[in-house]
Amino acid sequence: MSKRIALVGMPNTGKSTLFNRLTGAGAKVGNWPGLTVELLSAKLLLGDSMVELVDLPGLHNLHGFSEDERVARHFIETQPVNGLLVVLNATQLERQLALVLQLKALGLPMLLALNMADEAASRGIRIQLDTLSEKLGLPICLVSAKHGHGVPELRQALTAWLHRHPDLATAQARVLAEDDNIEHTLDTLLAQTVHVPPVLSPSHTDRLDSLLLHPWLGLPLFFLIMLTVFQVVYGLGAPLQDGFGWLLDAVKTRWLAPAIAGLPAWAISFLLEGLYDGIGTVMTFLPIIVVFFLAMAVVEDSGYLARAAFLMDALMSRMGLDGRAFVLQLMGFGCNVPAMMGARVIRSRAQRILTMMTIPFSLCSARLQVFLFFTTAVFSPRAAPWVLFSLYVISFAVTFLTAWIWRGRARHGADPLLMELPPYRLPTLSVLTRQSLRESGHFLRQAGGFIILGVALVWFLTHFPLDAAPASPATLAGRLASLMEPIFSPLGIDQLLSIALLFGFVAKEVVIGALAVIYGAGGDQLSGILAQRLDWIQAYSFMLFTLVYTPCLSALATLRREAGGSRYMWASLVWSLGIAWLLSFAFYQTARALTQ
Amino acid sequence: MTKLCSLNTVPAGRCCIIMRIDADSDLTARMRALGLQLGRRIQVMRRSPFQGPIQVRSGQTDIIIRRADAAAVQVRPCDPNIEHCPANESECN
Ligand SMILES: Nc1nc2c(ncn2[C@@H]2O[C@H](COP(=O)(O)OP(=O)(O)O)[C@@H](O)[C@H]2O)c(=O)[nH]1
């Protein structure tokens, strides 16, 4: 019979880090309460048995009612397990042990891992492990998941513990533990086992906070930091991208083209101008995406996101949102889908849905690709980063506008904002490596999946019938585009570009690939063509539209699932299309009128 | 009788003791999980401008809480320089 252990703990105690340590599998790590939102499980060999380890979302207490706490509690109450591996932050036992006492009432075998041993040591906190273990009647290990200290011992303890509890058990119908009782037990327990130095000297976190959370400097510093991060990504990623593009081009002309020269013309066109150019152009973004996600990982792991929530909450509350929504917005810079799922930490339904409606306007990495391509093609190198920055600003502006207009009920049922401000932490190299490997894997899988399909379909639409000139009005794409012409010409978006937008509906990653196929050119050549055909007003109008026009298919599907109904999905779709059109229209017409 | 005041009115840097929490059971449980519970000595670290949230330290945990929610927490302020909160009222202002 298979064995199963559930990993339980309060948010941000290092469950994911420990999960990664034990199983070698990739769970996402971040110094922000509430990041584990999906049940992640992996196999782990303990002694001679294979065990399934399930990482549950963070849980403050057994009476918690946020969406993610519900998931964790439901799992604990209904799924048979051999036992619970409870992760606690060793520096905060005074509040975290309460969860252990509550969990004990469930009657499941438990093993405690006191994590962050390194931080506890540096703060001078001493824990009498033997006494604590004896009083609680539970085996306890002191570990540092981040640095790997104590993890081999934890494995041994787990193996021995499993031997003692070989059978799956289900939680007993819960006796609602008397919390006052718990508190009393807890105080006695703590007094006997945990020694905290009476006066803590101000830590580096305190010193950094007095600057970064300064009443007046805090917000300007925040924007400065974000701007720096993007400058770094841009400065590091752009040359890498150029190099990669050059390489792909060289492979095509020196090697690929001669190799398939014998094939019929349409097949060459399909392989070279369809698949290779399409996918290759998307692939040139791999380096910049990796750099981008590395930077995101550093920001997430640093603990600064929770500070951003603190700084922005006053502003966000005026729009029916809160600081957490702002942070999810920032996380959406990577990909909107996990950011939407992160909204589960918000308890009020109205506010959670409002938050999810705003996240699609967050400028995700797929859109970043489109914008990087266009800004480098059409704008001067000096102007390009600023153009890009302006798009981020607009992304926030549209978010705020959306929240403000739709705030409705969320304004009243204000969800209490109550969250931990974790200490600043530096990510380890292994976390960063894992993160970038995961992101590039994700990117490659996408490129290998629907991007191939997308570009193949675009090639077909722009080349059929075969006797027509590619992408000319006689092709399928051409006919489709002339149907859409009345909608797009007031925005300065020509027919060929509108075809690419159509495919961007599936995923924004396809847009650049589609353009490469439509114009029959990849990489630098495509940039050249775009620079010739578009002036900056048209290019910017196209980017505005791309930024806002629709959440991609997977974002829409997530919205439907998380909001529990297609109503919000349709609302989001119609709203974003409408506002995208108005925005581009207003920009294009005004800019044209002014530059006449 | 000791004079109580709401946590949202305590100035930054000040220590206080939680005497009463007037919130629903869900919020109370959550506050407790983060270290805001009766009898705890806490310190207000900073208050963000524009009526934003306040940062409170309870034991080893720093939390942020909105002023509206902090209003539900009734505290007895005390002198930050005294390590254990004074038992008698005159030292507490
Ligand atoms: N100093 C220290 N930091 C840790 C340790 N374990 C995890 N962390 C950090 O704590 C933060 C939260 O970790 P994570 O695994 O995402 O916690 P989860 O929310 O419980 O899954 C991250 O910044 C980790 O790098 C540890 O043993 N020592």
Q: Is the dihedral of CA A87, A90, A92, A95 positive or negative?
A: positive
- Token pair listed for A205: 């976190």
Do A416 and B61 lie within an 8 Å CB cutoff? no
B3 pLDDT more than 80:
no
Question: Does some domain include residue B88?
Answer: no
Q: What is the mean pLDDT of residues A270-286?
A: 83
Q: Is A58 near ligand 1, meaning CB less than 6 Å away?
A: yes
Residue (of A392, A379, A364) closest to A527 by Cα position: A379
- A476 sits in which H/E element: helix A476-488
Q: Which residue has the higher pLDDT, A62 or A206?
A: A206
Question: Does some domain include residue B90?
Answer: no
* CATH number of B65's domain: 2.30.30.90
Question: Does some domain include residue B9?
Answer: yes
* pLDDT tens-digit map of A474-527: 889 889 889 999 999 999 998 889 988 988 887 888 888 888 888 888 778 888
A449 pLDDT more than 80:
no
* pLDDT tens-digit map of A108-134: 999 999 999 999 998 889 999 999 999
- Contact present, B75 and B42 (Cβ < 8 Å): yes
Domains and CATH numbers, chain A: 3-195 (3.40.50.300), 218-415+431-595 (no CATH)
A286 pLDDT more than 90:
no
Question: Does some domain include residue B42?
Answer: yes
DSSP A169: B
Do β-strands B61-65 and A194-195 pair in parallel, antiparallel, or remain unpaired?
unpaired
CA distance A11 to A87: 10
A34 confidence band (pLDDT: 50, 70, 90): low
Q: Which residues of B touch A215 (CB under 8 A)?
A: 46-49
Do A61 and B32 lie within an 8 Å CB cutoff? yes
Do β-strands A194-195 and B5-6 pair in parallel, antiparallel, or remain unpaired?
unpaired
pLDDT for B55: 94
Residue (of A389, A284, A287, A399) closest to A332 by Cα position: A399
Question: DSSP characters for A113-162?
Answer: EEE-HHHHHHTT-EE-HHHHHHHHTS-EEE-BTTTTBTHHHHHHHHHHHH
Task: Name the amino acid, one letter, at A64.
Answer: G
Beta pairing partners, A81:
A169
Tell me whether residue A242 is exposed, middle or buried, using C-beta atoms within 10 angstroms of its C-beta: 0 to 12, 13 to 18, 19 or more.
middle
Range scoring the smallest mean pLDDT among A27-31, A253-257, A362-366, B83-87: B83-87
Question: Does some domain include residue B91?
Answer: no
- Establish if A213 touches chain B: CB-CB under 8 angstroms: yes
Residue with tokens 């983060």: B34
Exposure letters B3-24 (e unless 16+ CB within 10 A, then b): eeeebbebeeebbbbbeebebe
Count of structural domains, chain B: 1
Q: Is A31 near ligand 1, meaning CB less than 6 Å away?
A: yes
B60 pLDDT more than 70:
yes
Do A310 and B55 lie within an 8 Å CB cutoff? yes
Q: What is the mean pLDDT of residues A328-353?
A: 85
Q: Which atom of ligand 1 is nearest to the CA of A431?
A: 25
- Residue A125 CA, chain-centre distance (Å), reads 34
Q: Which residues contact A173 (CB under 8 A, 6 or more apart)?
A: none
pLDDT for A36: 54
A183 pLDDT more than 80:
no
Q: Which residues of A touch B64 (CB under 8 A)?
A: 306, 309-310, 313, 323, 417-419, 421
Q: Which residues of B touch A95 (CB under 8 A)?
A: 32-35, 58-59, 61
The SS3 call for residue A289 is helix
> Helix A553-563 crosses helix A349-358 at what angle (to 10 degrees)?
180
pTM for the model stands at 0.83
A393 confidence band (pLDDT: 50, 70, 90): very high
A56 pLDDT more than 80:
yes
The SS3 call for residue A511 is helix
A23 pLDDT more than 60:
yes
The angle formed by the CA atoms of residues A504, A509 and A515, to the nearest 5 degrees, is 65
CA distance A555 to A514: 20
- Contact present, A428 and A146 (Cβ < 8 Å): yes
Exposure letters A373-411 (e unless 16+ CB within 10 A, then b): bbbbbbbeeeebbebbbebbebbbebbbebbeebbeebb
Residue owning the nearest CA to atom 11 of ligand 1: A31
pLDDT for A410: 66
Residue (of A42, A45, A47, A50) closest to A19 by Cα position: A42
Stated length of chain A = 596
Q: Which residue has the higher pLDDT, A542 or A266?
A: A542
* pLDDT tens-digit map of A535-561: 999 999 999 999 999 888 888 888 888
- Establish if B11 touches chain A: CB-CB under 8 angstroms: no
Q: Is A115 near ligand 1, meaning CB less than 6 Å away?
A: yes
Residue (of A469, A284, A315, A457) closest to A400 by Cα position: A315
- Contact present, A35 and A342 (Cβ < 8 Å): yes
Q: Which residues of A touch B45 (CB under 8 A)?
A: 209
Question: DSSP characters for chain B?
Answer: -PPPEEGGGSPTT-EEEEEEE-S-HHHHHHHHHTT--TT-EEEEEEE-TTT--EEEEETTEEEEE-HHHHTTEEEEEE-TTSSSPPSSGGG--
Peptide bond into A465 cis (omega under 30): yes
Do B49 and A99 lie within an 8 Å CB cutoff? no
- Establish if A191 touches chain B: CB-CB under 8 angstroms: no
Name the closest residue on chain B to residue A98, using Cα atoms: B33
Q: Is the dihedral of CA A273, A278, A281, A283 positive or negative?
A: negative
The SS3 call for residue A111 is strand
- Establish if B20 touches chain A: CB-CB under 8 angstroms: no
Q: Which domain holds residue B59?
A: 5-82
CA distance A293 to A236: 13
Q: Which atom of ligand 1 is nearest to the CA of A144?
A: 27
A463 pLDDT more than 70:
yes
Q: Is A11 near ligand 1, meaning CB less than 6 Å away?
A: yes
The CB density around residue A223, as the number of other CB atoms within 10 Å, is 11
Residue with tokens 């929530």: A309
CA distance A514 to A278: 6
Secondary structure tally for chain A: helices H, strands E? 28, 9
Size of interface A-B (CB pairs under 8 A): 118
Q: Which residue has the higher pLDDT, A27 or A252?
A: A252
Distance from the CA of A422 to the center of ligand 1, in angstroms?
Answer: 10
Q: Which residues of B touch A419 (CB under 8 A)?
A: 34, 63-64
CA distances to A120, A253, A379, A520 from A527, in Å: 54, 18, 11, 12
A179 confidence band (pLDDT: 50, 70, 90): low
Q: Which residue has the higher pLDDT, A36 or A232?
A: A232
Give the CA diameter of chain B.
Answer: 35
- Residue B82 CA, chain-centre distance (Å), reads 16
Residue owning the nearest CA to atom 7 of ligand 1: A14
C-alpha torsion A205→A210→A213→A217, nearest 10: -140
CA distance A338 to A38: 9
